[in-house]
Structure 1
Amino acid sequence: MTDDVCVLLPTYDEAATVADVVTDFRDNGFTEILVIDGGSSDDTRERAREAGARVEIQSGSGKGQAIREAVHEHITAEFVLMADADGTYRASDADAMLDPLREGTAEHVIGDRFADMHEDAMTGLNRAGNTIFNGLFSLIHREDYGDILSGYRAFTVDSFRRLRLTADGFGIETELAVECARHGVRTTVVPITYLPRPDGSNTNLHPVRDGGIILMAIYRQAKTSNPLFYFGSAGGVAGLAGALIAAYVAYDWFVNTISHNVLAIVAGVGIILGVQLLIFGVLSDLLVTLHGETLDRVEALEREVDEAVEAAGVESADDDAPDASEGKDRADPPEQ
């Protein structure tokens, strides 16, 4: 059954591959395919329509903005299957992506490209960057999602609308992973096949620029999910810089009898700032932990209240039901 699924394909100058991608999903039984285009200058929209997709032009720019606009304004299905339109993902993996949603075991599914990645599908630089980003994400956000930069996702519309997403560009995949971890969205990872881009298809990804955006997105989001790392890392850098400067000042003072008053002040400020940031990180981490425990208790109380109300409703319905024996007594005439 695919009537409850909308296949979402964000595009920008994907004329070389979009028709094949749409056809692949249609051949696998998907009838609702939405292409949301970011103002392509080639024939992307025309080829998508010819292949049988519904095409919308996004009002803004960037992949993140396109996805948010599509889900909030153009999709009415219960589930969304999101993929890139560059021919690197297979529609035959869709059922495996959607099964956890339909079974109710997950609300967000990430396709793990590294489970079956073709040799030429990713450059060595991109592989190294992905490994670093995944490791950093696991360290900061305490969740192991395997492949946080995967563009092959499946999720419920309800869970998506609970997330606070602001990224406009390629940082959207990272932000989705961070928000799922932060809001407790049940997330699972499914192995998929990752193919190399077809000949004649050019990537819109710029490794250095977009890698920097992704790195900052992971770090910036740590201030509310892992403040000890966020403030502690900044404090560590400041403290280490101050300690190194202080060591240089002390060495020049004791060995060469040369004083560096200004550097000494800078060293002191750096050390004090580092200690203060570390203390602030510890306190913030404590507050986040207590806040999480409070939310867990509130949710547990809400569940207990819902169960009590449901049980009371059942008992009330039983009390209101007429007793069969009483009805029989009223129906039978008294014996003479």
Structure 2
Amino acid sequence: MSSTDDVCVLVPTLEEAETIGDVVAGFREEGFDRILVVDGGSSDDTRELAREAGARVIEQSGSGKGQAVREAVAEHVEASYVLMVDGDGTYRPEDAQAMLEPLLSGEADHVVGDRFADMREGAMTRLNRIGNRAINRSFAAIHGQSYGDILSGYRAFTRESFREMNVTADGFGIETQLAVECARQDLEVAVVPISYLPRPDGSSTNLHPIRDGGIIFLELYRRTKTNNPLFYFGSVGLVSTVVGSFIGLYVGYRWFVVGISHEVLALVAAFGILFGVQLLIFGVLSDLILTLHREQLDRIEQIESD
């Protein structure tokens, strides 16, 4: 059996008429027959060109890349393996076999294509590079895992592992959620070096760096609640405690040195310190509960395996 027989190439699209035909043709040349294009209501010829190139095309019921991927895997993908790729022509079909190898060999449940391994000139702006680096480092610090390039749109995963994930993002936050879910469920993740190409002339990006970057950072922080509660509660608690302490020092200085009292600021300082300390304690307790929960799950798995 060919390594591509049980693989579905999943391509979420929106206004990709300039590139989708070449993308589909490229994967067909690599031997992939199951190519599913999920379109988000393009007003150009994206759907028609994808069909002409040999893809199966459906129009998603909602909007956003995340919703398109969830709907496709839940209702339209029958293959055991999914190769997810953007339809903008920035990823090479020639890297597909390397992406799938860790899945097909059973070494991984999820594969991330690392764009920084071979990023071509003009493929990413300096602002996007800085944002990507910051997000990757934040993820590694928070979740204790380094997946190289968690915002990469070139992914490969088993259908079953995806269905076990709690993926709710509708837009570009899906890549962040996938990375967090992999860390939370302790899935085997492989990072594969890939090439990242500039967008072809005539195509435009649907990504808005400031807006989407802010959404991704918020999603990354929100998801720490269930995977690293000490960071989730402790970071806010630490900030509140530090701010309250500085205000308290200012009030103390004004009282003892100048002789002027600031009752309202004193109350704010006290509230900030108490609130911060309570959040820090809550974070420690939550982290302890999460650790015990994971230990219990490990024991249950060991008993079941025996």
Question: 1:258 is matched with which residue?
Answer: 260
Question: 1:86 is matched with which residue?
Answer: 88
Which letter does structure 1 place at the counterpart of 2:262?
H
Tell me, yes or no, if structure 1 residue 245 matches structure 2 residue 267.
no
Match for 2:135 among 133, 136, 146? Answer: 133
Cα deviation per residue 1:310-336 (whole Å; 9 max; x = unaligned)?
xxxxxxxxxxxxxxxxxxxxxxxxxxx
Cα deviation per residue 1:64-99 (whole Å; 9 max; x = unaligned)?
000000001001011000000000000000000001
Q: Distance in 2 between matches of 1:207 and 1:86?
A: 16
Cα distance, 1:254 vs. partner? 2.0
Look at both structures and tell me which one has the larger radius of gyration over its CA atoms. 1
Match for 2:8 among 6, 18, 24? Answer: 6
Which letter does structure 2 place at the counterpart of 1:46?
E
Question: 1:40 is matched with which residue?
Answer: 42
What's the RMSD between the two structures over aligned residues?
0.6
Poorly superposed stretches of 4+, deviation over 6 Å: none
3-state SS in 2 of match to 1:155: strand
Cα distance, 1:303 vs. partner? 0.5
Question: 1:182 is matched with which residue?
Answer: 184
Cα distance, 1:277 vs. partner? 0.5
Tell me, yes or no, if structure 1 residue 231 matches structure 2 residue 248.
no
Tell me, yes or no, if structure 1 residue 115 matches structure 2 residue 122.
no
Q: Distance in 2 between matches of 1:15 and 1:239?
A: 53
Match for 1:56 among 31, 55, 58? Answer: 58
What are structure 2's unaligned runs of at least 5 residues? Answer: none
Question: 1:208 is matched with which residue?
Answer: 210
Cα distance, 1:245 vs. partner? 1.0
Question: 1:275 is matched with which residue?
Answer: 277
Tell me, yes or no, if structure 1 residue 154 matches structure 2 residue 156.
yes
Which letter does structure 2 place at the counterpart of 1:154?
A
3-state SS in 2 of match to 1:285: helix
Which letter does structure 2 place at the counterpart of 1:146?
G
Aligned residues: 304
Cα distance, 1:255 vs. partner? 2.3
Q: Distance in 2 between matches of 1:18 and 1:258?
A: 70
3-state SS in 2 of match to 1:24: helix
Cα deviation per residue 1:127-150 (whole Å; 9 max; x = unaligned)?
000111001101111111010000
Question: 1:194 is matched with which residue?
Answer: 196
Which letter does structure 1 place at the counterpart of 2:27?
F
Question: 1:316 is matched with which residue?
Answer: none
Which letter does structure 2 place at the counterpart of 1:134?
N
Q: Distance in 1 between matches of 2:202 and 2:130?
A: 25
Q: Distance in 1 between matches of 2:77 and 2:232?
A: 36
Name which structure has the greater RCO, CA cutoff 8 Å, separation 6+: 2
